Structure 1
Amino acid sequence: MSVKMVLTRPIDQSVGLKIEAEKWGSSGWTKVPYLPIIPDACNTMKRFYSQYMIDFWRTVGVKNPDKCPIPPGDYILKNYTFASNPQTEQTAVPVHGRVRLTVSLVDMTTKIPFLCTNVYMQS
């Protein structure tokens, strides 16, 4: 995975996480019911996916990747592979077939996204 992110604001308690899931089938991409907007994205992701998130933020250059908030900045990740981790395997997104996730960071006051990425997975 390679990513270039420009965060113009911190990822703090005022930032939520929105995940939209779609599955590929004979009719193309079909929306899959998923979660509502998750408040406090940084602390929530670190609570459920701590090792993945700490490793990710450390790799892109965050000075204190184990702490919230994540500061604004330009972050670059090149040729990164998420390693399997027993801690997160039980809570990870189950993938059967082709799945596309649209992951957005959202201002919780306005509900307007300010950072968005698509993630494609296949099993």
Structure 2
Amino acid sequence: MAKDNEGSRRDQGDHKLLLDLLNEALSIVLGPPVTMSRFWKKVIGPTRRSPRGRKLLDCVWEIIRAHLYPPTDKNYYSLDNMVARDLVSTPWSGLMNDDIDALGKEIESQITGVLIEEIVKVIKS
């Protein structure tokens, strides 16, 4: 029974690993999150339509297959190539999205504060 429990735990771990890999592949294929700011939507322009059906399955399988069966070429594992592959999977616009939104909110707050001060000065005089 102990062997059965250990085997089932390992199978559950394998399934969880595959599901995590599937989620990562889907996020790459389907593109940026829906919560992208209006500014970035304008900067990036019209986004391409996400693949569906068999095309989506093929795209996801290519990504998963690359992780399951990595090449045996040693250059594939060099630090430069690993960083390059990681940066390709995450667009720079997505990395800066939160920073730009926070900066925009801060500038908006400062402008609103200045406008309120000017309105109060006009009302007092």
Decide which structure has greater helix share. 2
Q: TM-score, normalised by structure 2?
A: 0.25
Decide which structure has greater strand share. 1
Q: TM-score, normalised by structure 1?
A: 0.25
Q: Which structure would you say has the larger Rg?
A: 2
Q: For CA contacts below 8 A with separation 6 or more, give which structure has more relative contact order.
A: 1
